Chains A and B, each alone.
Chain A
Amino acid sequence: MLDVLTDHWSEFSSGFWVTVRIVVVSFGIAMVVGTLVAALRIAPVKWLQRIGGVYVEIFRNIPLLVLLFISYAGLRRADVNINAWVAGTGSLGLYTAAYVAEALRSGVFSVGKGQIEASLSLGFSYAETLRRIVLPQAFRTVISPLGSLTIAMIKNSAIIGVSLLALPDLLKQARIVQARTFQTDETFFWAAVGYLILTGTVTLIIRNLERRFAIRR
């Protein structure tokens, strides 16, 4: 059992860190784009809300694998020179951003309407109200949904490696080791350990943050 891991340590560990890098980069993209889309969805202008809504409905309902095909093979055929890293992390980031936007939006709505009205009547502008009153509180209620999304993102990152993009992430490396050794159970066992370490770590971090900051409404 152990010898598969020790013999192919370099494959497993490099795959593990590639997965970590994919998740970290995609998480950054998802947070930035997700915040922007959430801002659109709660904007006081109707057509901005609509744009945000269309973004969410498209990216939430399309399979990630289809996004990967469009952004990688599709764009390359259209002579856009996009590399696998940009296409992979970009697709995963944009896909998750739709969920992030929804999480942030419901977080914003969880802040009482009275608070917003009070702050507006105190002379805060819309932007100030958002920045000083709503967002600090909203952020505390979205910790746990964002945690769930990060875990979902770790799991979804495995799709990038085995799709046509073939980034050498943990699952891709496990597949290479499996093809070389034919020890399917052992190889997949160690890959599973890798993924459980990642999802477990995020679960622990989230639980910790929740204990410290979260408010249940």
Chain B
Amino acid sequence: MNYLFDPDNWEWLTTGNNVRFILEGFLINLEIALVSMVFALILGLALALLRLSRVKPVSVLAGGWIDLFRNLPLIFLILYFALGLPSSWKQAWEDAMPSWAPEAFQSGLVLGALLGLVLYNSAVLAEIMRAGILSLPKGQGEAASALGMTYRQSLYHVILPQGLRRMVPATVSQLITLNKDTTLVSIIAITEVMRRARIVTASNFFTVVEAPILHVFIFVGLLFVIVNFSLSRLSRRLELRERARTGTKLKPARSLEDQVIVD
């Protein structure tokens, strides 16, 4: 305890560029999370629609794809894409990246990380969206078709607008998980917050002001807790508002960490 609260061990916070260096790394994590989220939402919606397709083989195939990527560890996918992608792809990525893109995205390594994050999260989000759509009362679809709408029309004008509204809180929760998961890309040598925190501990090792691993990573953990806690508050507010508006409760989608919290 003395070790933890000894002010000498916290002095690194005020010396040098340590805090700024770590915060910049944290920004990279948030960027990666945001970019992956956008792509995962697009792919997830496509997967959810395929999964709900009335053509049996299509829905079975989409279901298999979703279950496959949802049931594999994310770090497994990231490692696989980092090791298994042909280097020509990574080269192509580096060539294609415009110079105004954030620095972290310039490296070909990030391609593997993004692929893993997007494939995993799109499968999870597809399940969230499906749960949102299925939670609509059956009468909605029936009424639409009674009004003479085709399946496609009822989907675009009746089902999706309501179903997608219901998945907003769950999506924000998933963003929390995604935020945490971005730390995994440090394992394939992208210098985000985890790597930078290690650099801070290592570079201060022989200097007067020591930056102990324990303290540096408690600081990093706090950064995540602050951002994710705000997100979870937001998710809760959205959920309560949605429930007050529609008087319904979202069915928990399976195999999601954050979906457990629905009360």
A46-77 contact mask (Cβ, 8 Å, vs B): 1 or 0: 00000000000110111111110110011101
Task: Report which residue of A109, A157, A171 has the largest number of chain B beta carbons within 10 angstroms of its beta carbon.
Answer: A171
Query: B220 contacts A66, CB within 8 Å?
Result: yes
The closest CB in chain A to the CB of B215 belongs to: A74
Near A by CB (< 8 A), chain B positions 67-93 give 68, 71-76, 79-80, 83-84
Given contacts A57-B225, A62-B225, A63-B183, contact A70 B76 (CB under 8 A): no
Query: A61 contacts B224, CB within 8 Å?
Result: yes
Near A by CB (< 8 A), chain B positions 239-263 give 252, 254-257, 259-263
* Bound CA span A77–B213, Å: 7
The answer, among A74, A163, A191, for a CB contact under 8 Å with B214, is: A74
Interface SS of chain B: helix
Near B by CB (< 8 A), chain A positions 159-217 give 159, 162-163, 171, 175, 178, 184-185, 188, 191-192, 195-196, 199-200, 203
Name the distance in Å between A94's Cβ and chain B's nearest Cβ. Answer: 13
Query: A106 contacts B218, CB within 8 Å?
Result: no
Any B CB within 8 A of the CB of A99: yes
Any A CB within 8 A of the CB of B212: yes
Contacts of A70 in B (CB 8 A): 213-214, 217-218, 221
Interface SS of chain A: helix
Binding site for B on A (CB under 8 A): 57-58, 60-67, 69-70, 73-75, 77-78, 99, 102-103, 105-106, 109-110, 144-145, 147-149, 151-152, 154-159, 162-163, 171, 175, 178, 184-185, 188, 191-192, 195-196, 199-200, 203
